[in-house]
Chain A
Amino acid sequence: MAAETGTPTTLTLKSNDDELFSVAESAAILSVTIRNMVEDGCAGGVIPLDNVDGKTLASVITYMNGISAIPADEEKKKSYRDKFLSDKDFETLADMVLAANYLNMSCLMDAVSAKIAQVMEKKSVGWVRRKFGIENDYTPEEEAAVKEEHKWTFEGVETDDDN
Chain B
Amino acid sequence: MKRAKGENDSNSVDRISELPKDILQRILYFLSQEYAVRTSVLSKSWRYVWRTRPNLDFSDNSFKGNNKKEFLSVVDKNLQLYRDQNLCLEEFHLSISVTYSDRKSVPFLEKWIPLLTAMGVKKFRLSIQYEYYKSAVRVELPRVVFGEESLQDLHAERFVLEQEAIERIALSKHLKKLRLEEVYVKDDTLQTIIIIYPTSLETLEISRSNIPFQKGADFRNLKDLSLCLVESSLDNLSTCEFPSLKRLNLRYCDGLKESHISIDAPNMVCFGYAGCFIPSISFTTTSNEWNTYICLDSNDASSNWFVKLKALLESLSHSNICLAIDDNNPTPFDEEHIIHEILDDDGCGEPIAVECLQLNAGLSCFSTLLNGLFRICRPASIGDIVFKSWEMKVAEFAWNSLMRRESRDRHQFRHELWLRDLERASLEIKEIGREEWRSITLSDLPNYRPREHYRTHFALKWRQS
By a beta-carbon cutoff of 8 Å, the part of chain A in contact with chain B is: 15, 17, 19-22, 53-58, 61-62, 89-91, 94-95, 97-98, 101, 109-110, 113-114, 116-118, 120-123, 125, 128-129, 132-138, 142-143, 146-147, 149-156
Per-position binary interface string of chain B over residues 52-92, scored 1 when its CB falls under 8 Å from any chain A CB and 0 otherwise: 00000000000111100010001000000000000000000
Which residue on chain B has the smallest CB distance to residue A20?
Answer: B2
Contact A132 B14 (CB under 8 A): yes
> Could you write out 22 A-B pairs with CB less than 8 Å apart?
A20-B2, A53-B4, A90-B10, A90-B15, A91-B8, A97-B26, A97-B27, A98-B23, A113-B29, A113-B30, A117-B31, A121-B35, A132-B15, A134-B16, A135-B14, A138-B44, A147-B41, A150-B40, A150-B41, A152-B65, A152-B66, A153-B38
Quick one: CB contact mask for B34-46 with A, threshold 8 Å, 1 for yes?
A: 1101111111101
Instruction: Give Cα A133–Cα B42 distance, bound, in whole angstroms.
Output: 10
Rounded to whole Å, the gap between the CB of A19 and the closest CB of chain B is 6
Interface size class of chain B, counting residues whose CB lies under 8 Å from the partner chain: 35 or more
- B364 in contact (CB, < 8 A): no
What are the residues of chain B within 8 A of A95 when measuring CB–CB?
8
Are the C-beta atoms of B23 and A97 separated by less than 8 Å?
yes
Q: Is B102 an interface residue (CB 8 A)?
A: no
Does B20 lie at the interface of the complex (its beta carbon under 8 Å from any beta carbon of A)?
Answer: yes
Say yes or no: is B137 at the interface (Cβ < 8 Å to chain A): no
**Could you list 12 further interchain pairs (A-B, Cβ under 8 angstroms) beyond the known A110-B26, A138-B41?**
A17-B4, A54-B4, A94-B19, A97-B23, A109-B23, A121-B31, A125-B41, A136-B42, A137-B43, A146-B41, A154-B38, A155-B65
* Chain A residues whose CB sits within 8 angstroms of the CB of B38 once the complex forms: 125, 150, 153-154
Indicate if the CB atoms of A136 and B4 lie closer than 8 Å.
no
Partner of B8, one of A55, A136, A137, A153: A55
Closest chain A residue to B14, Cβ basis: A133
Specify which of B1, B22, B28, B41 is in contact with A58 (CB 8 Å cutoff): B1
For residue B12, CB closer than 8 A to chain A, the reply is yes
CB distance from A102 to the nearest CB of B (A): 10
Chain A residues positioned under 8 Å from B424 (CB to CB): none
A146 touches B5 (CB 8 A): no
Say yes or no: B4 contacts A19, CB within 8 Å. yes
Contact A91 B15 (CB under 8 A): yes
Closest to B70 in A: A152
For the complex, give the distance between the alpha carbons of A135 and B38 in Å: 15
A55 to B4, CA, bound (A): 4
> A residues within 8 A CB of B11?
91
If A21-B1, A134-B16, A155-B66 touch, whether A143 touches B41 (CB-CB below 8 Å) is: yes
Query: Which residues from chain B contact A123 at a C-beta distance below 8 Å?
Result: 35
Q: How far is the CA of A85 from the CA of B407 in the complex (A)?
A: 63
> Within the assembled complex, what's the spacing in Å between the Cα atoms of A152 and B7?
42
Which one of B9, B35, B41, B47 lies within 8 Å of A122 (CB-CB)? B35
B64 near A134: Cβ-Cβ < 8 Å: no
Q: Does B32 contact A (CB under 8 A)?
A: yes
Contact at A22–B1, with CB atoms within 8 Å? Answer: yes
From known contacts A117-B30, A118-B30, infer whether A156 and B64 are also in contact, taking CB-CB under 8 Å: yes
- Tell me the bound Cα distance from A121 to B28 in angstroms: 10
By a CB distance below 8 angstroms, the chain A residues around B35 are: 120-123, 153
Within the complex, the shortest CB–CB distance from A91 to chain B, in Å, comes to 4
7 A-B pairs closest in CB distance: A54-B4, A152-B65, A117-B30, A55-B4, A155-B64, A113-B26, A114-B30
Please tell me if B348 contacts chain A, counting CB pairs below 8 Å: no
Whether a CB of chain A sits under 8 angstroms from the CB of B190 is no
